[in-house]
Structure 1
């Protein structure tokens, strides 16, 4: 079950080797789970009837389940939303005022600082979490907090730049969860099977869009932007492409969660799944917010 997805590819459990019975071998212990009907090997114990049953109530605990993924994802998203709300209210007025109380037309430096710190911090931690072999819940939550700071500032800034109502923020939030529910329903109803070519395409497209975004930022320092983040046709097409890619990323996430549960991955990998789902949802939200801003411009 080797993955091309950078978020999952560093997980030893997702990329373990299989034994002769086709079962996952976990690198943490160097042993494979036995196949169905096969008696587990236990040195020094020849009669399975003499095996202990362990502590009551602990059987099959410590494995990733749908409930554990939902719980960890809910916690991660709650941190994102709380940090975003705190940033929204803490940054105050978006447009600065002069000494006479007149709006200067310049965006508040506090808001821009929050956007930069949150964006670069979240991007750095996303790389750490993506390539870390053993997922760290603390780093996932730290990423969520910084992502929330960035989203709070971003959500406050986009309506002002586009000259539209801030109501699009709520619309984008609702649209994001609708996209999540719709994608999950389609994944289960149509029994979507994820192949290697699809995984490779989605990951390559994701890295391509990130590279284009970074290029746009660098060009912006020299006043020679292409318009990927603008509110014209190029910006709209880029945002629509990002939205579609976000839906594809969700499909990859659902596939890995389903495979991970079937393989009996450790419970800590629920945090890896929560991180991946959060990244996809944030990706969808930011592109959907930009689409709504462009579509509602005068």
Structure 2
């Protein structure tokens, strides 16, 4: 199955049977003895991506995002005029950088850290706004995001849900449709003031967004697994970490919006 995730989709290395090329001839007795006598290979010896590499790099990007978000939360008041420029500025910079990183032929860790910082400003800003209206909603959204991540990882690990070609195709069609709806809804809300999320079915739309973002984690897990299986160089752990960060930020925002709708009558 070829990758459909925008982060991984342009990289043949994350396709099944992708990067590594092996000698398929039958080994001789001397070959087997040499392999037996050689020391056990580790990630630093093979220079191939491991799950530990992905975890460490994902954690480092998240640390930058959390520091930036915490700074917004601690240093800016909800009614501060600078809040909106910081929030939307972070969103715009994050969007531009995500496109540059996704379509670049080179792996750019430095840009990924800048992206994480920009997204931190955006996440911190919208979290501050929502929390000023619904006290405690940010902690609920964080716990909801963590719960969704763990649940999807368990479903993937125990083969309850797999990234089959059909599953991937349906999910990508739904994702494109939802993104198109989000853009149209934003334009309509700016022009007319009507927002679909404020309608009686708003909670259902938001719940669909949460489910969609959650299922995209299955694709992320599959792409990471295939990358490791294909013997990718360690540097591709940055690409895997970036993909996970993008999906988790999306998931958090969707959960935050759903909780706000459900608490709208508080």
- Give your verdict on TM over 0.5: yes
What SS is found at the alignment partner of 1:271? helix
Larger RCO (alpha carbons 8 Å, 6+ apart): 2
TM-score of the two chains, using structure 1 as the length reference: 0.78
CA distance in 2, matches of 1:258, 1:275: 15
1:190-205 maps to which residues of 2 (within 5 A)? 190-205=159-174
What SS is found at the alignment partner of 2:23? coil
Change (3 A) 1:38 1:121: farther
CA distance in 2, matches of 1:59, 1:272: 18
**What is the total number of aligned residue pairs between the two structures?**
260
1:265 equivalenced with 2:250 (yes/no): no
Contact kept, 8 Å, 1:159 with 1:293, in 2: the verdict is no
Instruction: Give the deviation of 1:61 after TM superposition.
Output: 3.1
Contact kept, 8 Å, 1:64 with 1:270, in 2: the verdict is yes
CA distance in 2, matches of 1:84, 1:210: 24
Partner deviation per Cα, 1:120-169 (whole Å, 9 max, x = no partner): 11111112222223321111111111111000001011234xx321x110
Q: Whose helix fraction is larger, Structure 1's or Structure 2's?
A: 2
1:166-177 maps to which residues of 2 (within 5 A)? 167-177=136-146
What SS is found at the alignment partner of 1:6? coil
1:1-298 maps to which residues of 2 (within 5 A)? 1-15=1-15, 24-25=18-19, 32-35=21-24, 37=26, 60-92=45-77, 94-95=78-79, 108-160=80-132, 163-165=133-135, 167-228=136-197, 230=198, 232-297=199-264, 298=266
CA distance in 2, matches of 1:295, 1:275: 31
CA distance in 1, matches of 2:44, 2:65: 34
- RMSD across aligned positions (CA): 2.6
TM-score of the two chains, using structure 2 as the length reference: 0.87
Tell which structure's C-alpha radius of gyration is larger: 1
Contact kept, 8 Å, 2:14 with 2:224, in 1: the verdict is no
What SS is found at the alignment partner of 1:9? coil
CA distance in 2, matches of 1:155, 1:75: 21
